[in-house]
Structure 1
Amino acid sequence: MDLPIVVGVDGSGPSLRAVDWAADEAALRGAQLRLVYASLWDRYEGALLAQELDRPKEEVMAQDVVGTARLRAERRRPGVPVGTDVVGEEPEEALVRESRGALAVVLGCRGRGGVTEALLGSVSLTVAGRAHCPVIVLRGSHDNRAGAAPRGPVVLGVGEKPTVSAAARFAAEEAVLRRVPLEAVRAWRHPAHATTAHSLFAGEPARFEEQRAAEAVEEALADVPAGLEVTRRAVEGHARDVLVAASHEAGLLVVGARHRHGPFGLHLGRVVHGVLHHAACPVAVVPEAS
């Protein structure tokens, strides 16, 4: 059975732009689109969609939300099959469940900084931390860069375990589909101490760390398809800062995430959490095997 690309919709501007991005992605992959509205409330308590429909917001119902999103997707990509569903439960729970049978889950992200971002990004953060498939969160300038059309390289953040990963495979696949280069980036730090046990780099700990980062990048790219243009970068700095900087020229930033248990259940690591809040382009969070 062909798996769909799932979009969480709620009638907001960012969620409608997520529909645009997902429709483009579905067209690239020859996949169907599934639009899901999940809420414990019957009505959408917002103004933007009500304005588009020229009706009081109290009269805008869940079916209007998914109907408007479906029309938008069909207009953007007429050849992509579109299905819809309305679920009476918390969106986090519904979308995590949907992720079990999806190619990817696509989410809009409202707010750009401060308390607004922290509150309105809670669904995205929860789903990205618990999903069973890649989750794409539309960071950056949604109006200008919402589409999945090529607008820059696909950037892969090479993580702590650089063996060929689900994130690396997903990033290479996206680069091939978009016909853009793949840029693999690994951050490294100057060691706190000026000595190392490695005789070849004795007295040169920074060089040793940079070489280790370069080797990690090569290891992550072991299964990259032949013919794909690849750029390899080992950059000194905090991983979050390095990846956020790379995102300014990227069409998509791909990071791997292992589900971690904390005092409040599953959550994302600091680097992934950081890029989800600060990246300048869409971010794909790809679950890795523990």
Structure 2
Amino acid sequence: MTIPLVVGVDGSEASLEAVDWAADEAARHGVPLHLLHAAAGESEASDVIATAALRAGQRAPAVQLSSEVVPEEPASALVDQGRNAFALVLGSRGLGDLAGMLLGGVSLAVAARADCPVVVVRGAAEHRQARFGRVVVGVEEGEGSGTAVRFACREARVRRCPLVAVHTWSRRPGRHRVPPPPNWYVPEAPRRPPAQVLDDTLREAAESPGEPVVTRRVIEGPARRALLDAASEADLLVVGARRRQGHMGLQLGLVNHALLHHAPCPVAVVPQI
């Protein structure tokens, strides 16, 4: 049985944009699409889910479609669904969010807690409707990017578009990205040069050598700025997230938090597994 792509719907315009994006994504990957509306005691629930189902069916008639209404708190219901989902797709803001918010509370909470990839659909129509033909992935040093790069490669492959892999580094103390001089004693193994970090991660994550076409960008400077710049001409921005066992707080990191609030295109947060 193929696990479904799950999209959260609440009747807001942002959630309907997420339904459109999710229908296209399910069609690309050939997976079922499951619509989930979660709210306690909402009499309009059947209308909300019916409207979303009609929209998804018209958008991608070949996709196997199912829907569900659950009387639960939305973030918890979506996180539970994510334990057996291809990915979770959410709008950037919901009906209950305050005017002026950059990102809805449910989307932020789910992106921070889910066990599967979470895509927050945001940005102008040209970004949501895949008009740029480019996927961007952020690559960090350590073990936080392998799953994200594999996800990004798969997205670029099914979209038949190039992948832009971005790795940033800084000379500031405490954020060492440059190997020490040859005669300098260091009590631990020297760090890899920035270009090697990027090459190693891409090589380890590659499923099919040479596919997709990858453009490498090694940039000295803040990761937030470099990724936002790259996302300005992208259909999807992919970042990794580390999940700390037993930690119940928001596990996103400052860079991912900023990207979810400010990126000009949909953002996929992929937990490292």
User: Which interval holds the TM-score relative to the shorter structure?
Assistant: 0.7 to 0.9
Q: Are residues 241 and 201 of structure 1, via their aligned partners in 2, closer, same or farther at CA, if it must alter by over 3 Å?
A: farther
The whole-number CA distance in structure 2 between the counterparts of 1:246 and 1:21 is 21
Residue 219 of structure 1 deviates from its aligned partner by 1.1
8 Å contact kept, 1:260–1:266 = no
- Superposition map of 1:99-248 within 5 A: 99-110=82-93, 116-117=100-101, 121-141=104-124, 143-147=125-129, 149=130, 151-161=132-142, 165-192=146-173, 198-200=180-182, 212-222=193-203, 223-224=205-206, 225-227=208-210, 228-248=212-232
Residue 42 of structure 1 deviates from its aligned partner by 1.0
The whole-number CA distance in structure 2 between the counterparts of 1:5 and 1:117 is 26
Partner of 1:50: none
8 Å contact kept, 1:33–1:81 = yes
Q: Are residues 69 and 201 of structure 1, via their aligned partners in 2, closer, same or farther at CA, if it must alter by over 3 Å?
A: farther
Residue 214 of structure 1 deviates from its aligned partner by 1.1
The question of 1:72 aligning with 2:55 is answered yes
Residue 83 of structure 1 deviates from its aligned partner by 0.5
SS at match of 2:151: helix
User: Structure 1 length as normaliser, TM-score?
Assistant: 0.82
8 Å contact kept, 1:40–1:89 = yes
Partner of 1:4: 4
Q: Are residues 19 and 115 of structure 1, via their aligned partners in 2, closer, same or farther at CA, if it must alter by over 3 Å?
A: closer
Question: 149-158 or 266-275, which moves further after superposition?
Answer: 149-158
Residue 191 of structure 1 deviates from its aligned partner by 2.8
The whole-number CA distance in structure 2 between the counterparts of 1:144 and 1:163 is 29
The whole-number CA distance in structure 2 between the counterparts of 1:218 and 1:133 is 25
8 Å contact kept, 2:145–2:239 = no
Partner of 1:267: 251
SS at match of 2:120: strand
Unmatched segments (≥5 aa) in structure 2: 185-189
Whichever of the two has the greater Rg, that structure is 1
Q: Are residues 189 and 127 of structure 1, via their aligned partners in 2, closer, same or farther at CA, if it must alter by over 3 Å?
A: same
Q: Structure 1 counterpart of 2:38, which letter?
A: A
Q: Structure 2 counterpart of 1:183, which letter?
A: V
User: Structure 2 length as normaliser, TM-score?
Assistant: 0.87
Q: Are residues 212 and 168 of structure 1, via their aligned partners in 2, closer, same or farther at CA, if it must alter by over 3 Å?
A: same
Given candidates 279, 282, 285, the residue that maps to 2:266 is 282
Residue 254 of structure 1 deviates from its aligned partner by 0.5
Partner of 2:239: 255
- Residues 61-98 of structure 1: CA distance to partner in whole angstroms, max 9, x if unpaired? 10100100000011111111110000111100000000
Residue 172 of structure 1 deviates from its aligned partner by 0.3
Q: Structure 1 counterpart of 2:83, which letter?
A: R
- Superposition map of 1:15-30 within 5 A: 15-30=15-30
8 Å contact kept, 1:163–1:220 = no
8 Å contact kept, 2:127–2:264 = no
Q: Structure 1 counterpart of 2:34, which letter?
A: R
- Residues 150-200 of structure 1: CA distance to partner in whole angstroms, max 9, x if unpaired? 52311110023158711011000000000010111011113349x987225
Q: Structure 2 counterpart of 1:254, which letter?
A: V
Partner of 1:81: 64
Q: Structure 2 counterpart of 1:174, which letter?
A: E
Unmatched segments (≥5 aa) in structure 1: 44-60, 203-207
Aligned length: 260
Q: Structure 2 counterpart of 1:146, which letter?
A: R
Q: Structure 2 counterpart of 1:198, which letter?
A: P
Structure 1 runs (4+) deviating above 4 angstroms are 260-264
Q: Are residues 217 and 197 of structure 1, via their aligned partners in 2, closer, same or farther at CA, if it must alter by over 3 Å?
A: closer
The whole-number CA distance in structure 2 between the counterparts of 1:126 and 1:31 is 25
